[in-house]
Amino acid sequence: MGVLSAIIIVAIKGMLEKFKDLHNLWPVSKIDFSIWLVSFLATFCWDVTEGLAVSIMFAIMTTVFRTQWPKWHLLANLSGINEYRDERRYQNVIRNKGIYIFHFDSPLVFTNVEYFKTCIYKALENLQNECSDHDKDVDVIENMKEKDPNIELAKETSLEDNEVEKLKNNLKLNENLQYFIFDCSGITYVDYMGINAIKEMFIELKTRNIIVYFSGIKDHVRDIFEASNSYKIIPKSSFFPAIQDAVATAKASQHV
């Protein structure tokens, strides 16, 4: 019995020693902290096999939740250099007049397309609030039906989320926004619903007289665009290898 106890103690010694690392893990990643805690409690309450199964399932759930609510932010030009970063993290930034740069940092798949739409409308709402004195009221839905025959395609990805509908209906046409640059460098993969969400966004902004450019899109994502015939809706001239190229084209068009 003593030998068996010694074996068990040695086996769990490494796990118990990890307790001293928890105070460092919590500020770095609360999700990793919760995974460790769930794994420990499941193993302690049941056995190694069941504990391992519970920890794997919990880790998969956290991954799914993180893809459903990814990070997004607006980019601005860092003063003195030709680089674009999150405008909230830097003080000396320059936003080009009439040009709005949006970054979405996640694969765009069926689990987060509604959140993606919400992010787009929140970004537009932020700009609208900044320039509220220059806004004009418009009926977005009727304009979409009258101006663009491709609106039928947008119905494939209907906006079921109440927050999305509310944000869209409350938006006004902003004359100060001429170009919306979608930085796709953070999108590693898109599925069918993700492609449709991008096309819907393109059509939506087009009806608002906003020109949409895409930058930094990865080659395999471009292949998905090609396979889905998306270029019939979004012209290839709207794609640029880097943000700087899209901004330069937008600036040149502004001065024509």
pLDDT in tens, the chain (256 residues): 667 667 766 666 666 666 667 777 777 777 788 888 888 788 778 877 888 888 888 888 887 777 677 888 888 888 778 888 888 888 778 888 888 999 998 889 888 888 898 888 888 887 777 655 444 443 443 444 444 444 443 444 444 455 555 555 554 555 567 899 999 999 988 999 999 999 999 999 998 889 999 999 999 999 999 999 999 999 999 999 999 999 999 988 877 5
Residues 6+ apart with CB under 8 A from 75: 84, 85, 86, 87, 101, 102, 103, 183, 243
What dotted CATH number matches 70-254? 3.30.750.24
- Report the candidate in 253, 254, 167, 239 with the shortest Cα–Cα distance to residue 202: 239
Q: Which residues pair with 75 in a beta bridge?
A: 86, 101
List the beta strands (DSSP E) in the chain: 71-78, 84-86, 93-94, 99-105, 135-136, 173-174, 179-183, 211-215, 239-240
Cα separations in angstroms, 198 against 201, 230, 254:
5, 9, 24
For the question of whether the overall pTM of this predicted structure is more than 0.85, the answer is: no
Domain coordinates of the chain in residue numbers?
A: 2-66, 70-254
